[in-house]
Each structure stands twice: as C-alpha cells, then as structure tokens.
C-alpha cells in the first residue's frame, strides 16, 4: 500500500472511481447529478487540473499492488474567497472515493490524514469538505474523521 501524488497514468482509475461516486449520488441523493460529467470537457479539464497540480489543485491516490483503489482531490481556497473570515487559510477536500470493494478498511481515513498533511504543508490551518445533505454515509464518515458541520446550504427548485 502506498499513498502518493496522482499523475497522468492515474486518470482512468480516477475516472472509474468517479463513476462510483456519481452513480451513488444519482441513486441516493439527487437525480440532478450529471453522470456524464467525468467524460465531458469541463469534467476532463477539472480532473486534469488535479493530476497536473494546476490552479491550486492536487490529487492523492491510494495504490495497492499496482492498482489505484482510492483517491482524494484537494484545492487551495484563494484568499479572496475567504475575506469574510479572519486568520484562516483553507484547503478543500473536494472529492474522496474508495473503490466499493475496498471500503471499511481504513483507506478513506488514511487519505484524509494524508490530505491534512498536504494542506498543512501548503500553509493551511483549516480543511474543508462538502458532502450532499442526503449522503449520510459520507457525512458520517467525515464526522468520524473529525470534521464538524460549519455551515448548511439550502436550495429550492424553482
């Protein structure tokens, strides 16, 4: 087992994991999830920024026996986006996924811990993650990792 920086050879594995995330959220949270997103231009651009470490994005992969079975994507939040808060430098854990066959083996927790280490190296003093309100599995996981709910976002269809 190794947790390492994502690279271009990981692109297909990361996309495979994203399929699992998008399918789960579509089935269990909201039908507004675009299942094609990982494969359309904005999605491809987004994941390439993670792999290429562009615009404050960064990716970690959990590799076991040469196979990527988990990943985390991170993004440094720009100071201009945090002007409403004081003394905060924040990194967002944008996405975390562990292959369904390997869950409940502490892999997600290890990816969170590695994300914290990377965020601290970037000078961050705060790590943020967003989970869909209906995704109780993710919300419980993040609570168990030490995250606390900070703000609640409300939406309504019009």
Taken in order of first residue, the domains within the chain and their CATH numbers are 2-144 (3.40.630.30)
User: Residue 25's pLDDT is what?
Assistant: 85
Residues 112-123 have pLDDT tens digits of 999 999 999 999
Q: Cα torsion at 113, 116, 121, 126 (round to 10°)?
A: -170
C-beta of residue 148 within 8 angstroms of C-beta of residue 128: no
pLDDT over threshold 80, residue 88? no
Give the contacts of 111 (CB within 8 A, at least 6 positions apart): 3, 60, 62, 70, 71, 72, 96, 98
Dist CA 124 CA 118 (whole Å): 9
Q: Which residue has the higher pLDDT, 82 or 77?
A: 77
Q: What is the mean pLDDT of residues 83-98?
A: 85
User: Residue 153's pLDDT is what?
Assistant: 81
pLDDT over threshold 80, residue 85? no
Q: Is the dihedral of CA 33, 127, 69, 43 positive or negative?
A: positive
Dist CA 39 CA 56 (whole Å): 22
> Which residues, in sequence order, are bridge partners of residue 74?
58, 93
Q: What is the mean pLDDT of residues 14-22?
A: 89
Read off the pTM.
0.88
Q: Which helix (H) or strand (E) holds 63?
A: strand 57-64
Residues 117-157 have pLDDT tens digits of 999 999 999 899 988 888 888 999 999 999 998 888 888 77
């Amino acid at each position: 087992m190794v947790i390492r920086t994502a690279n271009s050879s990981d692109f297909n594995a990361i996309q495979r994991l994203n399929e699992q995330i998008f399918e789960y959220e579509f089935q269990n949270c909201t039908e507004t999830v675009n299942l094609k997103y990982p494969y359309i231009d904005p999605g491809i651009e987004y994941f390439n920024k993670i792999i290429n470490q562009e615009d404050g994005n960064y990716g970690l992969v959990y590799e076991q026996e040469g196979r990527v079975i988990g990943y985390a994507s991170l993004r440094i939040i720009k100071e201009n986006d945090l002007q409403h808060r004081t003394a905060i430098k924040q990194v967002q854990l944008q996405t975390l996924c562990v292959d369904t066959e390997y869950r409940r083996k502490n892999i997600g927790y290890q990816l969170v811990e590695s994300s914290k280490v990377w965020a601290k190296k970037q000078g961050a003093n705060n790590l943020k993650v967003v989970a869909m309100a209906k995704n109780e599995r993710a919300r419980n996981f993040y609570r168990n990792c030490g995250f606390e709910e900070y703000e609640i976002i409300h939406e309504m269809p019009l």
